[in-house]
Structure 1
């Protein structure tokens, strides 16, 4: 049985290459890609003592939960200096101090493959720690449940964030020093004085019609979330069809000042032959007229002021090198060419979240994708089942908008739960392949693609932020 017979001839993404959607035919190496490697999600199953009070994971200030920072490990510093984060930007040092001299961890490449963090001390040798081990901030071996990565994906790779977010509530800040100062000031004040309105969520959904993936995103994401908001009495607005332009988006943001924004659209992944321009406009939202979002024009009309933005668009959070999906599709297809070109610009954070998080009145958190996101994660290729309820209903609606606000890192954790099952499916499929079972290669491909697609959704911003 061929892949095309089992899955159809084309794999679709929400990338926009300037003149068309990025689609791809499967390469001759797709089966090898599907069968290459697997990771298993570790989960701590250590119940608290019977006499201890119930554990409230939303209370990141508790020493049984905790918050900490992850920095790149740098040579030339003493263990005491690394523990004190003397090399961190001034704003981050202030935040560490304000949060009770929070623990500082380090990323070191040779330990990262196994998911280890390094913690340095002034009084003892460094410790190699797993986030899935002892939790909280009690003792030298504990790792907080909330972790803020500070640094670019060139310094601390996306793959390490993927690994950490299976065991902890993780966010990242990749900003220049001025942007960090603005963000930390706003975070520390709780966005004091901001006009964000929790009861006026704004949804913006481009739909270029079936079979373009934007049609599926509108139906399974935007309309489902809008329905949930309306049924619960929110004054939610959905801009779609003729309203799905950047002008309408900017005007609605300025008028409504929403505390929550959702957008579904293609993300820009062109021009493929100009790396500098590709990097500059990577992941920018593509509207109904195929125009790219002008960040400067957006920020002239609207300031994020503590809002949370979920952007379902290709590369909305950034890009990686090498691509996670390298060799999945034919290199000569539009999707194959796009993956190759985007990988060449190197690991990076996209311009839009950097601008919003470092704005004069910063965004609180941006949730988006590294690399493309695929239609299989929206609708199961086997039975056509909608696969977005864990994201739309459980996470973006119930968790973020519950009466008792859930921090964004904890809210997103439920979306990653499916990764464990998908990777177990992948392991089973690899074993079936080794036993020469028919169709095992296709099973492995489905499971791996869907797992890595989910892991590629990341939080930019501090994981403790919540809706007002």
Structure 2
């Protein structure tokens, strides 16, 4: 086994093969050399990298990002959104309005109708229409916390990625107005009622046999995080569910059963399906559990008994107050076109009939969960392993500590946004030098490119202002 080979998460549910075979650094570099950033994107990312050295996050100096009254809260609808959706969310909108307007009225905004998102609109054009430019967030112009309401085919993931560089952004999209209403009620009740979750976090780490990807995530992500969280937040009960214990049945007890924690972190393969599969829209991004015996002992179709999908969140499951983080391919959603760059200058392949939010987090939010953090597209092991430097967990640790100390999920995810900005700026410099004759270090450049794609692809499904309500 080549120690420099890069391994990727994700299993094809129809064939049992890996969604993406292991690749050498040289193969990754050939793809990376097709990457380009627009000048606007590059300037924004350079600003964000510079800003990361300051003592504040995305908001301007003097604004407390933990306070909605100071940082503000807004919701972005499409210009032609169904008014019934706004009505279904009214309980949440009224609640956020009361919080955000206690100092200034304009710190609560509803971007709808003519002010809403327009087809094909870039982040910068949207902000410019509302008086905001690049740089630190001024909540008197556009609020810091922004909830996108709409499917990712209509409001693209690319818009969300770029908006998230400076703002705290989340997204919700459901199939029915009743699901919107239930989610709104869940958030308001979690923040206003007496129901409190105990300070318990569960780390669920699959480690399939003869599978390098899950061996890496179990040994170098889940295990070290368990140890570090136990040391950093000793008042929390940290539960480890690893390897042979990380079964579908056990995950069911953590997903609305008798072991449901306040914070759940899973690391596994995510299920993937071809665009013509009847299971793609319902099961893509499902969590492949320890029940899968691994690539050597199982070939062919992956049965649903091996993975946890939206179908397994039953009517009686209560996920109230939960925030969940899923390290898995397609765990948050799927774009219509392959985001794996330009695949050595070829046209981007269509991998789904349309972009969509993964059904598992949708179902979880419909059963009381406050937010789910996950990947759009593939998950990459370089999230936590950096070439020869080994484990790099500071971003994960920092985000989890923020959550466990009761800060909003959108603020906690700023650590991932800063990592994306730094990696993108550095990657652009490296690629520019290679174009002008520099001979690249293939391992270093491949790691930088995959880490950049990974850092960009974490998104929040749910309101970015939610926080754990703890005993």
Per the normalisation by structure 2, the TM-score is 0.80
Question: What's 1:390 paired with?
Answer: 395
> Does structure 2 conserve the Cα–Cα contact (< 8 Å) formed by 1:178 and 1:358?
no
Query: Which one of 329, 333, 347 corresponds to residue 314 of structure 1?
Result: 329
> Does structure 2 conserve the Cα–Cα contact (< 8 Å) formed by 1:31 and 1:441?
no
Aligned 1:136-147 pairs, distance under 5 A = 136=139, 138=140, 142-147=141-146
Query: Which one of 333, 348, 358 corresponds to residue 350 of structure 1?
Result: 358
Matches of 1:55 and 1:129, distance apart in 2: 16
In structure 2, list runs of 5 or more residues that go unmatched: 98-104, 293-305
Question: What's 1:451 paired with?
Answer: 452
Displacement after TM superposition at 1:225 (Å): 2.3
Query: Which one of 262, 266, 276 corresponds to residue 263 of structure 1?
Result: 266
> Does structure 2 conserve the Cα–Cα contact (< 8 Å) formed by 1:430 and 1:441?
no
Question: What's 1:237 paired with?
Answer: 239
Displacement after TM superposition at 1:166 (Å): 0.7
Matches of 1:330 and 1:442, distance apart in 2: 21
Matches of 2:160 and 2:93, distance apart in 1: 20
- Any idea what SS the aligned residue of 1:204 has? strand
Displacement after TM superposition at 1:34 (Å): 3.2
Asked if 1:419 corresponds to 2:420, the answer is: yes
Query: Which one of 243, 249, 262 corresponds to residue 251 of structure 2?
Result: 249
Question: What's 2:9 paired with?
Answer: 14
Question: What's 1:78 paired with?
Answer: none
Aligned 1:71-150 pairs, distance under 5 A = 71-74=77-80, 88-100=85-97, 102-105=108-111, 106-112=116-122, 115-117=124-126, 127=130, 129-130=132-133, 132=135, 135-136=138-139, 138=140, 142-150=141-149
Question: What's 1:77 paired with?
Answer: none
> Does structure 2 conserve the Cα–Cα contact (< 8 Å) formed by 1:432 and 1:440?
no
> Does structure 2 conserve the Cα–Cα contact (< 8 Å) formed by 1:251 and 1:301?
no
> Does structure 1 conserve the Cα–Cα contact (< 8 Å) formed by 2:91 and 2:188?
no
The 1:328–1:286 alpha-carbon spacing in structure 2 relative to 1, beyond 3 Å, is same
Displacement after TM superposition at 1:195 (Å): 5.4
The 1:196–1:372 alpha-carbon spacing in structure 2 relative to 1, beyond 3 Å, is farther
Displacement after TM superposition at 1:329 (Å): 7.6
Query: Which one of 42, 58, 63 corresponds to residue 55 of structure 1?
Result: 63
> Does structure 2 conserve the Cα–Cα contact (< 8 Å) formed by 1:186 and 1:192?
no
The 1:415–1:273 alpha-carbon spacing in structure 2 relative to 1, beyond 3 Å, is closer
Matches of 1:99 and 1:252, distance apart in 2: 29
- Any idea what SS the aligned residue of 2:430 has? helix
Per the normalisation by structure 1, the TM-score is 0.81
Segment drifting more, 185-194 vs 152-161: 185-194
Segment drifting more, 289-298 vs 434-443: 434-443
Matches of 1:164 and 1:367, distance apart in 2: 16
Structure 1, residues 62-97: CA drift from partner, whole Å, max 9, x if none? 2xx1000112233xxxxxxx9xx9575213344334
Structure 1, residues 90-126: CA drift from partner, whole Å, max 9, x if none? 13344334433721232224440x533258xxxxxx5
RMSD between aligned residues: 3.3
Aligned 1:312-391 pairs, distance under 5 A = 312-328=327-343, 340=349, 343-359=351-367, 362-381=368-387, 383-391=388-396
Matches of 2:168 and 2:199, distance apart in 1: 25
Matches of 1:191 and 1:97, distance apart in 2: 13
In structure 1, list runs of 5 or more residues that go unmatched: 75-81, 120-125
Aligned 1:167-206 pairs, distance under 5 A = 167-175=166-174, 176-190=176-190, 197-206=197-206
Matches of 2:227 and 2:163, distance apart in 1: 33
- Any idea what SS the aligned residue of 2:19 has? strand
- Any idea what SS the aligned residue of 2:307 has? coil
Segment drifting more, 407-416 vs 220-229: 220-229
Structure 1, residues 222-263: CA drift from partner, whole Å, max 9, x if none? 212221333314222111222111112223452233111111
- Any idea what SS the aligned residue of 1:107 has? coil
